[in-house]
């Protein structure tokens, strides 16, 4: 039950803020008025949103099952997760949020959400190398350094990297 509370708290504080609270406030203060988007763009929005939700659920499950933790800094994983999408790219959780932001922007036909997408991505381009990766190096040492050498931060590998230390 405690882990369920941690995950709910993680989802409500982190992605919910980026995907619901900040866009809602931004749309409100920019005087946004909904206009239907072209059907092909709306379809692309649904696909992007669905792919982002699927990727978010998959990565959160991996953090729970394999990492024995959450994505939140107050309950981080105890083990380095390199399976699934983590074998292709180091930040699939951020990728999932970016996919969902693109989906929102297309479904709501709101260019200001594209601006939020770029701000969120830009912020993470600074945060990850200077803060999160330094923390992961301290927590997981050589195992993380090997992972970092083999798996790109943002552009996925075509074939998954297999952590030789884990078999």
- Cα(85)–Cα(52) distance, rounded to whole angstroms? 12
Cα-based angle 63, 54, 44 (whole degrees, multiple of 5)? 145
CATH no. for 2-162: 1.20.120.1630
- Domain limits, the chain: 2-162
State residue 75's pLDDT score. Answer: 76
In order of 94, 111, 165, the CA distances from 86 in angstroms are 12, 30, 15
State residue 99's pLDDT score. Answer: 97
State residue 167's pLDDT score. Answer: 46
Token digits of residue 130: 């200077």
Token digits of residue 163: 């952590």
Give me the DSSP letters along 9-24.
HHHHHTHHIIIIIHHH
- For residue 154, give the 3-state DSSP assignment: coil
**107 contacts: CB under 8 Å, gap ≥ 6:** 37, 42, 45, 46, 49
Q: For the whole model, what pTM was predicted?
A: 0.89
- Cα(123)–Cα(140) distance, rounded to whole angstroms? 24
With cut-offs at 50, 70 and 90, classify the pLDDT of residue 2: low
Residue 151 has pLDDT above 80, yes or no: yes
- For residue 34, give the 3-state DSSP assignment: coil
């Amino acid at each position: 039950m405690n882990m369920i509370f941690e995950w709910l708290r993680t989802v409500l504080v982190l992605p919910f803020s980026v995907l619901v609270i900040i866009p809602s406030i931004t749309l409100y203060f920019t005087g946004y008025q909904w206009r239907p988007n072209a059907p092909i763009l709306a379809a692309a929005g649904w696909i992007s949103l669905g792919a982002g939700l699927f990727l978010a659920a998959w990565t959160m499950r991996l953090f729970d099952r394999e990492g024995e933790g959450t994505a939140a800094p107050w309950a981080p994983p105890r083990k380095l997760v390199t399976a699934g999408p983590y074998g292709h790219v180091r930040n699939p959780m951020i990728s999932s949020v970016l996919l969902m932001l693109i989906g929102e922007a297309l479904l709501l036909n709101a260019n200001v959400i594209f601006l939020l997408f770029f701000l969120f991505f830009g912020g993470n381009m600074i945060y990850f190398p200077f803060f999160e990766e330094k923390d992961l190096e301290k927590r997981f040492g050589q195992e993380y350094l090997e992972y970092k050498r083999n798996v790109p931060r943002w552009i996925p590998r075509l074939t998954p990297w297999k952590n030789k230390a884990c078999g």
